[in-house]
Amino acid sequence: MTKIREILKNASYRVFIFIFARPSMQRIVTRLLRILLRAYGYNNCCHPDKTGEGNFIRNLSTFNPKFCIDIGANIGNYSELLLKNTEAVIFAFEPLKQSFESLKKLEKKYQGRFFPFNLGLGESKQKRKFYYSLDHSEIASFCDDINEIDYVGQYNKSSSILQINTLDNFLSKKSLEFEHIDLIKIDVEGLEYEILQGSTKVLQRFSPKFIQIEFNLHQLFRNHTMRSFHLVLDNYNLYQILPNGSKPIKRNSKDPLVNIFTYANFLFVRKDIEL
């Protein structure tokens, strides 16, 4: 019986390849592939209910987070979800002044819990060119090579030289009442890996429970895979945030399907924590 099943399965594969693996069918195959990738957790942008971040944050409250860091806060949508669904104190970093004005309004609304900083973070203290568009602030970036991406380059026409720092340097000068960091979220349009490089002391000292990283086409141009992120965060298990369901799903960073350069949110969970 097993042999019969194997024969039928191989026959089905051959028929499928015979029909679809030809130039005339590639448009249909591409559409099917894009649909399947969305079901796998990719390209579900940009509302938190579509990305799955809303579910993740709502369920984060079960871990009773006290202190979270939002790097690349933009206008504060992610931070506000945290503020509404947890009792955590939040440090938020955003280099674009126009977006930072929205964070200042959020600071007034959540006094004593929300602390925004008009600052970019990276792998070292330096001055770096910042590319942005006032109409599309969410794609602003310190990475000039990602301007090769069509939807980035056509909008990020303005630039400024800004001072950036490392998270290690910044927190070393802060007197913190917290012994642990519950969550670090990093969404900085291509500079995610460099921020981790500038956070080694923080990671060692505070051992954050969760580290959320946006993975996108940007990483193709930055030569970073999800595997390279996991090598830095080797004390963590890797999960992917899905658009539906309360829990992220565990992934293997060596799997090619986890190293697809398109929009997704990955979650590194400290190994002693069960989701």
pLDDT digits 0-9 by tens, 72-113? 999 999 999 999 999 999 999 999 999 999 999 999 999 999
Decide if pLDDT at 4 tops 90: no
Burial class (CB in 10 A: 0-12, 13-18, 19+), 197: middle
- What percentage of the chain exceeds 70 in pLDDT? 99
135 secondary structure, DSSP code:
T
Decide if pLDDT at 65 tops 80: yes
27, 139 contact by CB (below 8 A): no
Decide if pLDDT at 1 tops 70: no
What's the pLDDT score for residue 147?
86
What's the pLDDT score for residue 247?
86
- What percentage of the chain exceeds 90 in pLDDT? 76
Spatial separation of the C-alpha atoms in residues 83 and 70, rounded to whole Å: 11
191 vs 108, 125, 130, 219, CA distance in Å? Answer: 29, 14, 11, 9
**Mean pLDDT (the chain, rounded):** 93
153: its two tokens: 């380059």
Q: Enumerate the domain spans of the chain.
A: 1-39, 46-270
For the domain made up of 46-270, the CATH class stated in words is alpha beta
Sheet holding 67-71, edge to edge: 114-117, 89-93, 67-71, 183-186, 210-215, 264-270, 236-240, 249-250
Burial class (CB in 10 A: 0-12, 13-18, 19+), 201: middle
More confident residue, 226 or 177: 226
41, 242 contact by CB (below 8 A): yes
Task: Kindly report whether the global pTM for this prediction surpasses the value 0.85.
Answer: yes
What's the pLDDT score for residue 46?
84
The identity of residue 270, as a single letter, is R
Model confidence pLDDT, tens digit, residues 9-61: 778 889 888 888 999 999 999 999 999 999 999 999 888 889 999 999 999 99
The SS3 assignment for 44 reads coil
Mean pLDDT of 115-127: 96
Q: Is the peptide bond before 46 cis (omega within 30 degrees of 0)?
A: yes
121: its two tokens: 């973070």
